[in-house]
């Protein structure tokens, strides 16, 4: 059982989702040792400082800032110099019967959202972060490179802007899911070079950046969503000459993600491919790592 610190709540897991970051951590993306998992929905079972929260279904902000460093004092708590990150950095995560988080990190889940949809709140918020960082207009040509777990959610969020949106796909199932969401898909060899105002790279692979660079127009923007082990070679001179803007993008607004789910503006349920009990977690990770796999969920 997790030991609770001041202001923390104990949460019993209902559902947890496996994402590409979890798989990269297994491969050595960061020197993390502990319990993986940061996409979850659970029930508060103990909250000494807020007993009214006990019994509520919640999702959680994964960053735990110190509140006192330079970044925190400047209003950038997600980039705290001493932050912990649930299941990623210095904090045991959600692939367990119980987890703990500060109560300020927790957000109640509306009753109308089922557990299997609520577990998508964190990655859906990550997709929404793009709209916080980049202005997207209805007449913009936008390309998403990658139609996997996160790419599917990004596509469903960006289509709400009315932009001219296409998504690069490699697997037929990815194409079918995008068609269900009324999003156009194209093959990699059909991508027009130097045409898109915005390209979102969400492949989880170094090759995705190369395709994004070919697709973005001069003075366009590339949003980088992938994290993976190791380094890649980048032709910086070409980016300078074409005046390309690179935007790193990570966590986003959980309350906004919950509103999208509550209002039915994004339906993530078709993305679920498999359920596993925690006792079969290693097998679940193997399944999630297979090419073309979408969301694999864990439950107690």
Question: Which tens digits make up the pLDDT trace of 62-103?
Answer: 999 999 999 999 999 999 999 999 999 999 999 999 999 999
The answer to whether the CB of 18 falls within 8 A of the CB of 55 is no
Q: Which domains does the chain have, with CATH numbers?
A: 8-120+268-299 (3.90.180.10), 127-248 (3.40.50.720)
pTM (two decimals): 0.95
What's the chain's length in residues? 300
- Crossing angle of the two packed helices 254-262 and 121-133, in degrees rounded to 10: 110
Residues 6 or more apart in contact with residue 115 via CB below 8 angstroms: 14, 15, 41, 57
CA 298 to chain CA centroid, Å, is: 17
Residue 220 to residues 13, 80, 215, 216, Cα–Cα distance (Å): 42, 29, 10, 6
**Taking residues 115-120, what's their average pLDDT?**
98
Question: Which tens digits make up the pLDDT trace of 118-156?
Answer: 999 999 999 999 999 999 999 999 999 999 999 999 999
């Amino acid at each position: 059982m997790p030991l609770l610190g001041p202001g923390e709540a104990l949460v019993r897991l209902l559902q947890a989702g496996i994402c590409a970051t979890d798989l990269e951590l297994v491969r050595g993306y960061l020197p993390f040792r502990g319990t993986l998992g940061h996409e979850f929905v659970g029930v508060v079972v103990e909250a000494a400082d807020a007993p009214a929260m006990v019994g509520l279904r919640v999702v959680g902000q994964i960053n735990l800032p110190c509140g006192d460093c330079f970044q925190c004092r400047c209003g950038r708590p997600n980039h705290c110099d001493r932050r912990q990150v649930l299941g990623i950095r210095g904090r045991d995560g959600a692939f367990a019967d119980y987890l703990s988080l500060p109560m300020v990190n927790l957000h109640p889940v509306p009753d109308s959202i089922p557990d299997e949809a609520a577990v998508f709140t964190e990655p859906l918020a990550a997709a929404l972060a793009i709209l916080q960082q980049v202005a997207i207009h209805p007449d913009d040509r936008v390309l998403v490179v990658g139609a996997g777990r996160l790419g599917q959610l990004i596509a469903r969020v960006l289509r709400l802007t009315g932009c001219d949106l296409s998504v690069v796909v490699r697997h037929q199932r990815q194409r079918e899911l995008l068609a269900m969401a009324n999003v156009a898909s194209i093959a990699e060899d059909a991508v027009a070079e130097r045409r898109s105002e915005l390209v979102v790279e969400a492949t989880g692979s170094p090759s995705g950046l190369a395709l994004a660079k070919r697709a973005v127009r001069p003075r366009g923007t590339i949003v980088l969503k992938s994290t993976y082990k190791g380094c890649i070679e980048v032709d910086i001179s070409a980016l300078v000459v074409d005046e390309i803007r690179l935007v790193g993008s990570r966590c986003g607004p959980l309350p906004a993600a919950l509103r999208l789910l509550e209002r039915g503006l994004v339906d993530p349920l078709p993305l679920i491919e498999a359920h596993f009990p925690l006792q079969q977690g290693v097998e679940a990770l193997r399944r999630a790592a297979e090419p073309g796999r979408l969301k694999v969920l864990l439950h107690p």
